[in-house]
């Protein structure tokens, strides 16, 4: 039978927290649950890091729930032998949890500023919940109880997370945007910051995807002016209905623009703009639009610069006209939205464009960016990158023409 290990710490030299009340309410949630026989709860208060290690050995829990103070980058506040603060960083906790990952599936850090520790722990554990900011005691407790209400009812961890945040909104309590949900690096990595708009986003995207291509302009930030481009872009393509759109993760691109990962639809990454209660699709970014179609450029070339939304990463490919020019140019591998043919592009070193590109690509990961390309040889698949336009796919092509 899986167990939940609840541990808490409220050191003498920190503000006192009502952690006993939180644990009591979680136990009450367990007692009234219809599937209560499927879970056991173990608790340990005023914990030191040694207490935590021993409790993990004794109980081999499926969930570890920590309640207490968080210090951001300095660590979580456990207690020392005298009851004062002992800070423990996320990397150390991740190393500890690594030894129990066969049974430990979820870690909940119900502590202020615990996002840093959650990120470290997610390298070892499948599902982790942290807090991006300070959170009020009552909000933290309400979130925790609603989270476990859902777990005890048999829901998955992500749904339980969303219901925990929703409970704060339903009760008119603050901090519903503070909890953050992460999946482990060995799964499909995603980070979901709760947004009260998620149900409406799913409704809007469901309507968008189930609307014929040529009638989608009203769902977009461009509006009716987009209609001619929609007709041209989708000409010859078959529309199919979808059953359900579900938001899997969201990442803020700006204060009101988001990249949303969805299931049940293609494309599975959508860019949206949220202003008050209005949710609109950033269509050009969502489809990865080029100023001329990628296939057209590759087949016919272009004397004029083109705007391209691409998946980019550093490369070491030097051939043909660039074979002996490694000292002057950096190779960049590019691919369009539909994972078509690769482009082996080049950017001149020691230029502003080079500096901006390297800043975004130096971690070695593939990045979605917008660039200006110029054909400089007969080989259309080996263009020159002449401008770095955007660190995302949100970029108004008309402004570059």
- CATH code of 240's domain: 3.10.450
C-alpha distances in angstroms, 231 versus 206, 214, 224, 237? 20, 5, 12, 10
Q: Which of 249, 269, 287 is the last residue of a domain?
A: 287
- Tell which residue, 149, 152, 144, has the closest CA to residue 35: 152
The secondary structure element, H or E, covering residue 227 is helix 227-234
266-281 pLDDT per residue, tens? 888 999 999 877 899 9
So what's the pLDDT on residue 26? 95
Q: What is the distance between the alpha carbons of residues 259 and 251, in angstroms, rounded to a whole number? A: 5
Residue 92 has pLDDT above 70, yes or no: yes
Number of other residues whose CB lies within 10 A of the CB of residue 392: 20
Residue 150 pLDDT exceeds 80: yes
Rg (CA), the chain: 25
For helices 137-152 and 19-32, give the axis angle rounded to 10 degrees: 20
| Residue 283 sits in the same domain as residue 323 | no
- In this prediction, residue 20 has a pLDDT band, given cuts at 50, 70 and 90, of confident
Q: Are residues 41 and 188 in the same domain?
A: yes
The CATH number of the domain where 347 resides is what? 2.40.50
Determine the 3-state secondary structure of 205 from DSSP. helix
Whether 65 and 80 map to the same domain: the answer is yes
pLDDT for the residue 266? 85
Residue 194 is classified by DSSP as -
Together in a domain, 119 and 184: yes
The Cα–Cα gap between 219 and 211 comes to: 10
What is the torsion angle, in degrees rounded to the nearest 10, for the CA atoms of residue 65, residue 68, residue 74 and residue 78? -80
Which helix H or strand E contains 359, and what residues bound it? helix 352-361
Within 8 A by CB and 6+ apart from 9, the residues are 45, 46, 47, 66, 67, 68, 69, 76, 77, 78, 79
Q: Is the pLDDT reported for residue 140 higher than 70?
A: yes
Which residues in 130-161 are b (16+ Cβ under 10 Å) and which e? Answer: bbbeebeebbbbbbbbbbbbbbbeeeebbebb
Same domain, 179 and 89: yes
pLDDT for res 188: 65
Query: Same domain for 165 and 178?
Result: yes
Sign of CA dihedral 188, 190, 192, 198: negative
Q: What's the whole-number average pLDDT of the chain?
A: 91
The answer to whether the CB of 340 falls within 8 A of the CB of 363 is no
180 and 304 co-located in one domain: no
Q: Which of 193, 208, 226 is the last residue of a domain?
A: 193
Specify the pLDDT at position 196: 67
Shared-domain flag, residues 252 and 311: no
pLDDT category of residue 194 using cuts at 50, 70 and 90: low
CA atoms within 13 A on the CB side of 18: 11
- The answer to whether 64 and 7 are in contact (CB under 8 A) is yes
Give the DSSP letter string of 300-350: H--SS-EEEEEEEEE-----GGGTT-TTTEEEEEEE-TT--S-EEEEEETT
Tell me, yes or no, whether 268 and 352 share the same domain. Answer: no
Q: What is the percent of the chain with per-residue pLDDT over 70, rounded to a whole number?
A: 96
CB neighbour burial string for 52-80, b if at least 16 within 10 angstroms, e if fewer: beebbeebebbbbbbbbbbbeeebbbbbe
User: CA torsion angle for 266, 341, 249, 201 (degrees, to 10)?
Assistant: -40
Closest C-alpha to 1, from 39, 52, 47? 39
Question: Which residue among 235, 253, 287 closes a domain?
Answer: 287
Listed in sequence order, the residues at least 6 apart from 348 whose beta carbon sits closer than 8 Å to its beta carbon are: 328, 329, 354, 384
Look at residue 399 in the predicted model and tell me its pLDDT: 42
Enter the DSSP assignment of 206: H
* Domain co-membership, 372 together with 298: yes
Average pLDDT over residues 162-166: 92
Indicate the number of domains in the chain.
Answer: 3
Instruction: Please say whether the beta carbons of 347 and 385 come within 8 A.
Output: yes
pLDDT in tens, 299-337: 999 999 999 999 999 999 999 999 999 999 999 999 998
Same domain, 214 and 300: no
Per-residue pLDDT reduced to its tens digit, 199-247: 889 999 999 999 999 999 999 999 999 999 999 999 988 888 888 898 8
What's the N-to-C CA distance of the chain in angstroms?
A: 63
Question: Do 317 and 380 fall within a single domain?
Answer: yes
The CATH number covering residue 9 comes to 3.40.50.1460
pLDDT over 90 at 401, yes or no: no
Which residue range(s) make up the domain with 240? 198-287
């Amino acid at each position: 039978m899986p167990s939940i290990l609840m541990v808490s710490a409220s050191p003498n030299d920190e503000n006192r927290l009502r952690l006993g009340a939180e644990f009591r309410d979680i136990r009450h949630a367990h007692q009234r649950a219809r599937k209560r026989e499927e879970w056991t709860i173990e608790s340990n208060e005023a914990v030191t890091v040694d207490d935590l290690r021993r409790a993990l050995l004794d109980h081999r829990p499926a969930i570890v729930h920590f309640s207490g103070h968080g210090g951001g980058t300095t660590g979580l506040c456990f207690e020392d032998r005298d009851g004062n603060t002992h800070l423990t960083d996320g990397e150390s906790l991740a190393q500890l949890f690594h030894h129990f990952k066969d049974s430990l599936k979820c870690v909940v850090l119900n502590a202020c500023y615990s996002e840093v520790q959650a990120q470290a722990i997610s390298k070892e554990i499948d599902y982790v919940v942290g807090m991006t900011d300070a959170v009020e005691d009552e909000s933290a407790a309400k979130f925790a109880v609603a989270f476990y209400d859902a777990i005890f009812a048999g829901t998955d961890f992500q749904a339980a997370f969303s219901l925990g945040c929703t409970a704060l909104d339903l009760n008119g309590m603050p901090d519903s945007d503070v909890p953050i949900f992460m999946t482990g690096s060995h799964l499909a990595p995603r980070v979901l910051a709760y947004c009260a708009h998620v149900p409406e986003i799913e409704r809007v995207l469901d309507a968008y995807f189930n609307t014929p291509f040529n009638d989608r302009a009203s769902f977009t930030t461009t509006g009716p002016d987009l209609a001619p481009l929609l007709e041209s872009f989708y000409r010859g393509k078959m529309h199919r209905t979808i059953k359900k759109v579900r938001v899997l993760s969201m990442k803020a691109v700006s204060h009101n623009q988001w990249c949303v990962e969805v299931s049940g639809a293609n494309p599975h990454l959508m860019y949206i703009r949220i202003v008050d209660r209005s949710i609109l699709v950033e269509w050009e970014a969502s489809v990865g639009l080029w100023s001329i179609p990628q296939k057209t450029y590759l087949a016919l070339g272009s004397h004029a610069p083109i705007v391209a939304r691409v998946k980019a990463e550093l490369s070491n490919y030097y051939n043909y006209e660039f074979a002996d020019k490694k000292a002057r140019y950096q190779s960049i591998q590019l691919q369009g939205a539909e994972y078509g043919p690769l482009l082996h592009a080049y950017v001149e070193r020691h230029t502003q464009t080079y500096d901006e590109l390297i800043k975004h690509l130096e971690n070695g990961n593939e990045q979605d960016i917008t660039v200006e390309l110029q054909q400089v040889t007969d080989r259309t698949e080996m263009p020159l990158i002449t401008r770095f336009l955007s660190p995302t796919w949100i970029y108004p092509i008309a402004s570059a023409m």
